[in-house]
Structure formats: C-alpha cells, structure tokens
Amino acid sequence: KQTLLPLLREETSSFIFPCKLAVQRPELQYMVMELLRCIPLLLFLLFVCGLDHFIFSILSIIQHHSFIEYSYQTSHHLSVNVMGTSLMAQLLRTTIGALNTSFDTEVETSNLACLPQPTGMTRQQYLNTCLPLAVLALLCLAQVYPFRLRRAIAAFYFPKREKTRVLFLYNKLLRQRKNFLHLQRGRVARRARQPPELGTLLLQWCRRRWPWLRRCLRRRCTLCGTPETPQHRPCPNPDCFALYCESCW
C-alpha cells in the first residue's frame, strides 16, 4: 500500500499499476518482444503477396503477347469429262462421273486454349489476407491489460502466497533503498570534492544577479534530476550548490 511504503520516482518505473491506462515500462518490454515476433510473419506475407503479383504479371504478359491465330484455306475440284456418244462412252460417263467432286475448306484456329488465364487478386482480397496479421498486432498491444489480472486471480486463490510475496517485495525495496542511499551518498561526495565548473559558477552568478531569470534557469535535483520546484530543498551548507527534491531529501 502507498501509505505503508511510498515509492520513489526511480522505483515507480519498475512497477505496474493496474489502474493506469497507459502502457508502462515493464509492460512495454514484453509488448515490443511480441511485436518483434510478428515481423517474420509480416515479411513472409509481403513475400507471398509480392510473389503472387509477380507471377500474375508474368502470366499476363504471356497471355497478351503469345497469342497466335492460324488460318487455313484449301480448294479441291475434280472433274472428268468423257466425250462421245457410244455405249462405252456412256458407261464411262456414268461410272467415272461419280468421281467428280468439288469442295472448299477454310479452317481458323488459335492457341487461346493453351494460354494461361491469370486472375489477379483484388484489393479486398489483399486486405482480407493482411487482416489476421493486423489483428495479431492489435492483440499484442492489448494483451498488457488482461495480463494485469494474473496477480489478482493468483491472490484470490492463494492469499497466503500473496502475503508472502508482498512481504518479500517490501523487504527487497528496503534493501534496494539502503544500497541506493549508500551509492548516492558516495556519488554526491565525489561530486562535492570536485571544483565547480565555470558554467555552474556563471549560472549561480546570473541567478543571484537577476532573480527573475530563476524561472528560465531552473536547476535540477542532484540525485534524480527532476526540475526545480518550490518543494525542492537546497543544501544548508552555503558553499554547496546542491539541490534536492522532497523525496530525495
């Protein structure tokens, strides 16, 4: 609970608050990893759509530029004339005259049946193909909110385990704050032993010379770097120019 152990500014970024709608830093890492897993699917989908369009273009070029039409015309005329009036001539005229034929042939054909008949995908079909991947990406963005219910569900079924986890987290924060305070004290001490830079001295002189510049030339907290507010407290040592926010102080 916040009344038991208020979190510092540096600690807030490492926890997930279920009531906040914004995606927080721990959730952002998992969300980015899930989105990165969608990149191979996206590349495969782009490759398949590009290959489909390429094959359709090739087949369409073959269809339009490989069409060949054949036209075949032939004529056949056979006529046998038997002259004379004799019996043999009449006999030949009746027998051989049956061979008289006459016909014209005209054939037109093409290779249209052998050519490919490609059908390109419509824009709606492309959208329907990409829609599952878009839904998957939206689920990767929205999965952080159902995942926040995992702790509440586990605490409902295992209250003793939840109490143990809270105590462990509380003690872990205390140890981290103790180490953090020790490290920050050493860092501030090392900075205090160093002579002030020319820019820092010039900034301090300008702030004392023109007090109205304090709104523009705001200092920052020595530890966390938050901009200066009325709640910030300066170091009581007049020779020290350190400034601390309320939580760091």
pLDDT tens string 25-39 = 888 888 999 999 999
* 128 and 80 together in one domain: yes
Q: Find the helix packing angle between 25-65 and 123-142, rounded to 10°.
A: 170
* 32 and 125 together in one domain: yes
**Residue 238 · residue 215 · CB < 8 Å:** no
| CA pair distance 135, 185, nearest whole angstrom | 50
* 150 and 201 together in one domain: no
Res 212 pLDDT > 80: no
Query: Is residue 177 in some structural domain?
Result: no
DSSP class of residue 227 equals B
Q: Locate tokens 């043999």: which residue?
A: 88
Tell me, yes or no, if the pTM score tops 0.75: no
Query: Is residue 2 in some structural domain?
Result: no
* 142 and 43 together in one domain: yes
Average pLDDT, the chain: 82
Total domain count for the chain? Answer: 2
Q: Find the helix packing angle between 159-193 and 149-157, rounded to 10°.
A: 130
| Domain around 104 | 20-157
Query: Is residue 136 in some structural domain?
Result: yes
Are β-strands 243-244 and 69-78 bridged in parallel, bridged antiparallel, or unpaired? unpaired
